Each structure stands twice: as structure tokens, then as C-alpha cells.
Amino acid sequence: MKESNINRMINEYIVSLYLLKAMDFDKKTTESMKLNRFWNTFLDRLHKVVLHDHIRIKKRIKQIGCKIVVEEILSNKNVHIMYVFEGYEHHCEIMPSVLKNKCEEKLDALMIK
């Protein structure tokens, strides 16, 4: 498998992971909304889709023999992932603004389905 495909999969992993975290955070704010039951149901359904996608990505990463070793937020707020593939250590780092945009793109894509 090409390294660019693995990088893409790691990026998808990070996006799906942080999208789930953001959705959990956002769900707390819906409690004060007048239509909170509707929004909670909507977010629960969307969360389920994102969760299944995240699990699929994790399984695919594992199937190809890639192991995520470190997930951390650096002092500059970038998300850093260290992973091992074919005996070599690799690093992936995403800035918060890029991560936010990618999460929004993923949600947009899910809304079109």
C-alpha cells in the first residue's frame, strides 16, 4: 500500500475521531434549545453514522498492519498522531483550523447522502 493512502487513512481517522468529540460537545448545548428533543434525535442519528465510519476506518488501518501509537494535542494546539507501519515510525500533524474545516466537509458530505 502506498504511503499516501496510509496518510489519507490516518487523516480520515483523525477527522472522524475529532468530529465525534465535537458532536458530543455540541450535543450538550442543544439541551437549552427549545426544540432540543428534535436536535438530540438528529444528532444521535448523525453521531451513529460518524461512529460507524470511524470504526470502519480503525479496522481498515489495523487490517493493513498499521498501529497508532500516540494521539496527542501539542502545545501549539495541533493534533499529532504517531503511527508505525511496516516497521517504520511515521507522524501526522493537523492544525486546528484545518481539522475544523475537514470536520465540516465530512458533515456536509453526510448531509448530502
pLDDT tops 90 at residue 31: no
pLDDT digits (tens, 9 = 90+) for 68-108: 999 999 999 999 999 999 999 999 999 999 999 999 999 99
Give the span between the Cα atoms of 14 and 71, in whole angstroms. Answer: 9
pLDDT (tens digit per residue) in 4-22: 788 899 999 999 999 999 9
Triad 11, 21, 5: Cα angle to 5°: 10
